[in-house]
Structure formats: C-alpha cells, structure tokens
Structure 1
Amino acid sequence: MLYMMLPLDRHFDSGFGAVADSFRDAADALEDSRESTPTLNAHLPVSFLYRHAIELFLKSAIIIFHRKLNIPYGAIPASGEPQIPVGDKWKPMHNVHGLQPLYQHFCSLFEDHAEYLAIHTNTDWSLPTELGQWISEIEATDSSSTFFRYPVTKDKEKDKQKSVIREDDYDALLSRMGQHQKPTKTLLMLDQHDNLVETFSHDDTQAKEIIHTLKQVAEIFSNCHAALAGELTGGA
C-alpha cells in the first residue's frame, strides 16, 4: 500500500486508517504480553486501544466514500470538514465518538453505493451478520470513548464493572468452591475480632469477553480499510 510510505497528511483519508492500524497493532502486542506477563488492570488499555481503532477505522471508511464519490456532508461539500449525521443533524466528525452513529452512516454508504462497488471493485463487501450486535454491545459499554480511559465516569454503577476485582458474597464464594469450579483469588477483610467484613474476588470473565469482541471487530474493520484503500484510492 502506497500510504504506508507517505506522511499521514498525504493519505487519502487524512491518515485515519493508518493510525487506526497502529492502535490495533499496539493492542495486539499489549494483549500478547498480558497473557504471558499478567499486569493489574491491563485489560483497560487493551480495550481502549481496540475501541479507539474501531472508531478510527469507521471514520476512515466514511471519509474515503465521501471523497472518492464526491458525496457532500449534508450542506458541506465532500472536500470540506468531514461530518456525521446524528439524528436529524450533521455534526463535525471530531465531535462524534460514539460507534453507533458512525456505524450507521458506514452501513448507509455501503448500501447506497452497492451498485458502484459491484461494478468497480472485485471485493466481496459482505460483513458478518453479528457485526451490528457487536457494535451495539461495545456502544452499551463505552458510548463516548471514556469507559476504558478513566477510573470514574458519569455512570457510577457501570464503573463498578470495569475492575477485575469485584465485591463478592462469601456464601456464594464457598458454594462455588464446593462445586470445584476454577481456582479463585480472593481477599477477605476482617475486623479486629476476626469477623468477616467484606469479600472481594478476582473475576476477569467479563473483561475477556469484551476484549474478544473488540478484537474481532477491529480485525474486521482493519481488513475493510485495506480493501477500501486498495480498491477506491489506489493504495493512497
């Protein structure tokens, strides 16, 4: 791809796709090292990197479509500042961080120009049927690209889900141990009389599920970006 050897500002999509690839590559590297050398709360930067890569891949695809096919952003020409339709208004792309509006516009561009793609490209542009559901799941967790970046956000209840150390119920813990489930890492807090006060356990099940979803979606859009760059921009 020609863009790999050009400065970001010379890329057809202003460098969005290339930067997205760099975030995805960093996430892959960090995830691989996390498996071999466990680090406390490392799932958060891994998740953020994948999530941000997805956002940038979507923005790249949108820019490529508008510039290549000279599609205006509402009242703004295709050569102007990229915009995203949110509700009944067009908003500057740099102000839109939610994946849902980006994905919806991404899909509409593919649908509206399916005939052009069929005639002028050799790529099978079909995407997994589950992709929309995966985007919705990511959006439900992190709709503003803040959940994985900060320890606290505006949603205190949701914030409790981001840690792999969770408040636990002692009786439920004993029940799980009695059922010979997988080993658990647990902290028991006792008072000065050795009475149990609080129980905390390590549970990374949800973190692993989120990373799995983020990783496969990032891979799908990385492949899509490569195809769009090759087919519509000549690798630029």
Structure 2
Amino acid sequence: MSYLITPPSNHYDGGMGITGCNFRHAAETLKAHASSLDGVLPLCYLHRHAIELFLKSVIFILHKKYSIGFGDGFSLDKPAIRVRDKWRPMDNIHNLSDLYSYFEVIYEDCKVALPETTCWDMPSDIRSKIDMVSGTDPKSTFFRYPKSGSAHQDAKKSRIQKTKFEGAFENQDKPAKLVLLFGQNDELIETYDMDADALGKIQEALDYLSGFFYGVHAAFRHELARGS
C-alpha cells in the first residue's frame, strides 16, 4: 500500500482516501480517550467526513481506472458528481445519499470488470444507514455547530439532557449520573442527566459506515490502483 508512505499529491485519487483514513483514525483516538467533556459532535463529524471522503475517493478511482467521462467542463482535474441529472463539482457535494447514489450507478456499470479476487457485493443495509445519516446531516453542518436549524434536532446533540429526578434510577443497565440544581430554599429546580443517549443510532451508523468504507477504500486502492 504505497499510498500510506507517499505524499497525498502523488496518490491515485489525489489524496482523498488517505485524508479519509486520517479523519477515521482521529475519531478512533477521540473515542478511545474520551474526556469528561461532551464530545458527541466532534466524534460524529470525524466519522461523517471520513465516509464522505471515502465515497469521493472510490468514485474518482472508478472514473480514472475505467475511463468514465464526466459532464461538459469537468475532468479528472476537475471531477464532478451527477445529482438528479445535473453535473456538480465534487468539492461542492456533501450529501452522503447523493454521493452513494452516484457511486451505485457507476459501480454497477463497472462491476463486471472488477477483479474476481475480491467479493464486491455491498451489504443490503448500507443504503438505509447512509440515508439515516444523510437525513440528519444533509449538508455536513449538523455536527459542526450547536445550532444548525431545527431546535428539536439540535437538542439531541448533547449527552447532557434535562430529565426528571423521579425514575432517574430505574435504568438498571448503567448507573445514573445526574446534576441537581437547587434554589435558595433547597428546593429542586432542575435535574440533568450527564450521560444521556445522544444520537445513539446515528453514532452507531456512523461508526459502522466509517469502518465499512475504510475497508472498501482499501480494497479499491489495492485491486484497482495497485496500492498507489
């Protein structure tokens, strides 16, 4: 895998894949060394951006390997993605569902030419996981800012969630970690769960997809780009 020891500018895909690897490794490091701070958004963003870069890398590799043309005005030096019959610069596309839809089209067209030494079948649940993440973060902004549109959705971003003291200890799966705010007369004003389930299903999907496309990208680099 020579792309691991050469500058990104020399890579077959222009450095997109190795950058995706770096974002995924950063996510894994953050997860392994979790602090007391509420780090849900950085972790999700790192995985999400890794997925975007892996998809762009494998799309570019297919175009380059099998001489697939782009629309007018676009080329390998200025790659593009076809979204709803319109060619748009690859750098301007951040919607994972759009990227995966385009990948599916050219992937199916090229599948008969792919080396038989690797199983290239895509698991049936990839599309649903992609759409779930994309539905939450279609523009790659949801995990970057505390406020990104919907107050209801934004409230789910933090592990610190308002709760009720009554019943807070009923969950036997893990101990409750609460902060209690009292008034001047020692009356309970607010209760906060400091370890609530913040975007649990989204986090699981991001972690799965990041790992899956990490492997897909490695297979493409080895089989189609000769490791470069």
TM (norm. structure 1) is 0.88
Separation in structure 1 between the aligned mates of residue 176 and residue 133 of structure 2, nearest angstrom: 27
SS of 1:56's partner is helix
1:138 to 113, 133, 138: 133
Unaligned runs of at least 5 residues, structure 2: none
Residue 46 of structure 2: aligned partner: 49
1:166 deviates by 1.0
Q: Secondary structure at the match of 2:167?
A: helix
Contact 1:82 1:92 in 2 (8 A): yes
What amino acid is the match of 1:146? T
CA contact (8 A) 2:40 2:158 kept: no
SS at match of 1:198: strand
Paired amino acid for 1:31: K
Contact 2:158 2:198 in 1 (8 A): no
Partner of 1:65: 62
- Provide closer, same or farther for how the CA distance between residues 219 and 199 of structure 1 changes in structure 2, counting only shifts above 3 A: same
Q: Which amino acid aligns with 1:129?
A: S
Residue 6 of structure 1: SS of its match in structure 2?
A: coil
Residues 1:229 and 2:225 aligned together:
no
Q: Output the CA distance in 1 between the equivalents of 2:208 and 2:124.
A: 13
Q: CA deviation at 1:182?
A: 3.4
The alignment status of 1:166 with 2:161, answered yes or no, reads yes
Flag the 1:178–1:235 CA change in 2: closer, same or farther, 3 A. Answer: closer
Alignment partners' CA distance in 2, 1:22 and 1:97: 18
How do 1:86-235 residues align onto structure 2 when only pairs under 5 Å count? 86-117=83-114, 120-168=115-163, 170=164, 173-178=165-170, 182-235=174-227
Q: 1:27 to 1:189 in 2, by over 3 A?
A: same
Equivalent pair of 1:16/1:60 in contact (CA under 8 Å): yes
In structure 1, the partner of 2:81 is 84
| 1:176 CA displacement | 4.4
**Over aligned residue pairs, what C-alpha RMSD do you find?**
1.9
Cα shift at 1:121: 4.2
Q: CA deviation at 1:208?
A: 4.4
Displacement of 1:178 in angstroms is 4.9
* Aligned CA distance change for structure 1 residues 159 and 178 (closer, same or farther; 3 Å): closer
Partner Cα distance (1:76, 1:123) in 2: 34
How many residue pairs get matched?
Answer: 228
Segments of 4+ in structure 1 off by > 4 A? 178-181
CA offset digits 1:84-120 (Å, max 9, x no partner): 1222311111111111100111111111111111xx4
| SS of corresponding position for 1:13 | coil
What is the TM-score with the length of structure 2 in the denominator?
A: 0.91
Residue range with higher mean Cα deviation, 196-205 or 173-182:
173-182
Partner of 1:12: 12
Does the 8 A contact of 1:121 with 1:231 survive in 2? no
Q: CA deviation at 1:3?
A: 1.6
Where is the helix percentage greater, Structure 1 or Structure 2?
1
- CA–CA distance in structure 1, aligned partners of residues 171 and 89 of structure 2: 54
Name structure 1 gaps, 5 residues minimum.
none
Give the SS at the match of 2:166: helix
